[in-house]
Amino acid sequence: MTDTAAIPGVLDEEILTAFSDEILHLIVLPTEQCNFRCVYCYEDFSVGTMKAPVVTGVKRLLERRIPTLRQLHIGWFGGEPLIAQKVIEDISESVLMLTRTAPGITYTSEVTTNAYKLDLATAKRLHKLNIRHYQITLDGPEKFHDRTRIRRDGGGSFQKIWTNLLDLRSSSLDISVTLRVHVTPANLDVMPEFLLGIRKEFLKDSRFVILPKAVGHWGGPNDSEFNVLGHAEATQAVSALEELIRGQAGSEKVYRPGNVCYASRPNSLLIRASGDVGKCTVALSDPANSIGRLLEDGTLELREESLGPWLRGWSKDSSKALGCPLVGLPRSAGEPVLMQIGVRPPGSTKSGDVEVGK
């Protein structure tokens, strides 16, 4: 355990949470395929849907761990996770059975989704499986959104997503939705008006919050062609939009990630559809993000030398790495840096908050 006084801005509770063997946070990719081809996407879609041996491995890992846990959180990521809904349902049904044998455990689950397939019937099904939190991205009004969040067949996606969001809002489901709104040079001028429309339609509902996020060069094939805001301009623009939302809807409607990234936490792991184990959802193809493998019997084979650099932020001299351990990650000679991302902004929410997305 590290010296808590040596880590500025990090609460003792956050450190205890991160190092607790009674807490497990899994980010599971049921597929790495997607029905979208967003122009700034960093994923290469080289892996398909999770096969039966990996599904079994996830179930058996949880069979091993649940009896000793007091908190379990599963985040579903992709690709687009909802195109592999059968995998999500299979594993989730197993988790629910296991948690019934451990009444002291708190189990929560969320999906990071483009929401194209998140109709009300799907949301109701997921709700019964205890999946009740969503992060959904919009790229501004329809004509801007449909230029960047493009379906794989080349069509637009805004209207279907908007309809699904309205249906969620009109439902009585006990859910929470983080609307991640992407900011670019192209949509910056219309973003205030768009956010006021978001406020009118969704932010009066306590289940909805908003996360303005500037798009960056995240390592995708279109990085050299896609125009993004510079760091200073992005920081200023996002801050102004957050103030607009607070002034119109209240500070509780703006989601702010915590100071400690999930990838810095020893008890947080990424399980890819292939069974490979990593730490970060934004660096899927980065060799440094491969730290081991999940076996069919539920055993995790982790390489300590690969895991260690992700946890370096807990040491006295590396605390800045807690916000984003990928920035400055120690690498082998000649190993490329694939991502151009920055540390988290100042400010913190509760220690359990996680921000993953694209």
For the entire predicted model, the pTM comes to 0.90
Cα 281 to Cα 263: distance, rounded to the nearest angstrom: 9
**Per-residue pLDDT at 24:** 97
Alpha helix segments (H runs only) across 225-319: 231-249, 304-307
Specify the pairing of strand 176-183 against strand 208-214: parallel
Q: What pLDDT is attached to residue 11? A: 62
In this structure, the number of other CB atoms found within 10 A of the CB of residue 356 comes to 18
The predicted structure's pLDDT at residue 4: 46
**How many whole angstroms separate alpha carbon 328 and alpha carbon 313?**
11
CA 114, 260, 302: angle at the middle one, nearest 5?
80
Find out whether 109 and 129 touch, Cβ atoms under 8 Å.
Answer: yes
Residue 53: the pLDDT is 98
Please choose, from the candidates 81, 79, 101, the residue with its C-alpha nearest in 3D space to the C-alpha of residue 91.
Answer: 81
Rounded to whole angstroms, the Cα distance separating 282 from 93 reads 28
Of the candidates 138, 86, 144, 87, the residue with the CA atom closest to the CA atom of residue 116: 138
Q: How remote is the C-alpha of 143 from its chain's centroid?
A: 26
Q: What is the pLDDT along the chain (358 residues), one digit of tens a residue?
A: 444 445 656 667 778 888 899 999 999 999 999 999 999 999 999 999 999 999 999 999 999 999 999 999 999 999 999 999 999 999 999 999 999 999 899 999 999 999 999 999 999 999 999 999 999 999 999 999 999 999 999 999 999 999 999 999 999 999 999 999 999 999 999 999 999 999 999 999 999 999 999 999 988 899 999 999 999 999 999 999 999 998 888 888 998 877 889 999 999 999 999 999 999 999 888 899 999 999 999 999 999 999 999 999 888 667 788 888 998 888 765 555 544 333 333 233 333 344 555 6
Give the number of C-alpha atoms closer than 13 A to the C-alpha of residue 357, restricted to the C-beta side.
25
Nearest to 201 by CA among 163, 243, 233: 163
Helix (H) or strand (E) holding 54: helix 52-65
- Rounded Cα gap, residues 212 and 43, in angstroms: 21
Q: Residue with structure tokens 């899994």?
A: 26
What is the Cα–Cα distance from 162 to 135, expressed in whole angstroms? 14
Distances (CA, A) of 183 to 99, 136, 212, 233, 339: 40, 14, 7, 11, 19
| Beta strand segments in the chain, E | 23-28, 71-76, 106-113, 133-138, 176-183, 208-214, 268-271, 276-278, 292-294, 300-302
pLDDT recorded at residue 80: 98
Strand 133-138 with 176-183, pairing: parallel
